[in-house]
Amino acid sequence: MAVLGFDGVGFSYAEAAVLAGVSFEAQLGELLVILGPSGSGKSTVLRLAAGLDAPNAGTIYLNERPASTAGRILMEPADRRISLVFQELALWPHLSADQQLHFTGPALHAADRQRLLRDVGLEGLETRLPAHMSGGERQRLALARALAAGPRALLLDEPFANLDPGLRLELRRLLRDLKRRHRVSIVYVTHDLEDAFDLADRIAVLKEGRIEQTGPPEEIYRRPANAFVATFVGKAIIVSAKVEGSEIHTPLGNFSNPRSDLGGASEVEVVLRPEDIEVGEGDVQARVEEVVFGGDRYLVRASTESGPIWTYASDPRVPGETVGVRVRHGWPLQASRE
């Protein structure tokens, strides 16, 4: 069942369109990531879902019941059973950890509040004020306070943006565990690819107020819908190619066509990621321009007659040297027909 649904939702500030025809669903127990660059409308999606603003067009559903429709809020924020965690957290500075949960969930017994604090790793900090907590502890408290209200859905607005990488990894694990324990649907907005791929059951890629593609992380990465999605969710180059039978012919070599829906198209654009291009004995010559050490492998930027490429190498390469490269596979985008 869809806990939260957007159907053709549009929103504007004065004459400036922020969202246009946005449609998606967050299923029961799902962690849906809304991924997009700054200014794409991610935070507006959360405000509309929480009932803080009304859409100019379309309908927002909660448990398949209309909650907002064009110009009208049909279900007040307090009745939506939705918790929203802002990037700034907005913890009450004068309330202890236990008091924060009691204010949000007054029906919770003291034992329930202690159990919730234990779930987020704050056991023993019941009387501590936010000012006397670390950044990670405040993040944990914000999650516990949001869950204290017993929400159907938890909306998170880039909550880990200001944390160091190690702490972000720890809190991502915690968030997955909380989703499982509390059987809550989570909508998490971010521009961070690592957060998105680590957390998401599904990703909706947002660009300039429109959903470009929705799907599991692997599908978004390996089978992007268009050039924007391809280049936004990871390093990639786009090259022109031709379809000849069951093969795709590119300037960097040929590979088997992975798509069955190209029909009679003869020309396509192909997405090539670094792992799609092999350094070694290839017919195409490339000049190494830049080498970045990445732990277990090297990221290499090189130039070819057909343009720049990115690839991975297991051994260090030297800027200025010439290497052979060849394409192993790729993903053709929507074809242009003759």
Of the candidates 227, 243, 263, which is a domain's last residue? 227
Predicted TM-score (pTM) above 0.75: yes
Q: What is the pLDDT along the chain (338 residues), one digit of tens a residue?
A: 899 999 999 999 877 899 999 999 999 999 999 999 999 999 999 999 999 999 999 999 999 999 999 989 999 999 999 999 988 888 999 999 999 999 999 999 999 999 999 999 999 999 999 999 998 999 999 999 999 999 999 999 998 887 888 899 999 999 999 999 989 999 999 999 999 999 999 999 999 999 999 999 999 999 999 999 999 999 999 999 999 888 999 999 999 999 888 766 688 999 999 999 999 878 899 999 999 998 889 999 999 999 999 999 998 899 999 999 999 999 999 654 43
Phi then psi for residue 302, to 5 deg, are -140, 165
41 & 179 share domain: yes
CATH number (domain holding residue 290): 2.40.50.140
C-alpha 327/C-alpha 16 separation (Å) is 43
Are 270 and 158 found together in one domain? no
Phi-psi region of 51 (alpha: psi -120 to 50; beta: other; left: phi over 0): left
The answer to whether residue 41 sits within a structural domain is yes
Q: Is residue 65 domain-shared with residue 183, that is, in the same domain?
A: yes
Same domain, 201 and 58: yes
The reply to whether 263 and 221 lie within a common domain is no
Same domain, 168 and 302: no
Q: Which ranges in 183-302 belong to alpha helices (H)?
A: 193-199, 217-222, 227-232
Q: Do residues 45 and 34 touch, judged by C-beta distance below 8 A?
A: yes
Residue 121 lies in a domain: no
Residue with tokens 């509040």: 113
- The CATH number of the domain holding residue 27 is 3.40.50.300
Residue 244, in any domain of the structure? yes
H/E stretch holding 116? helix 110-119
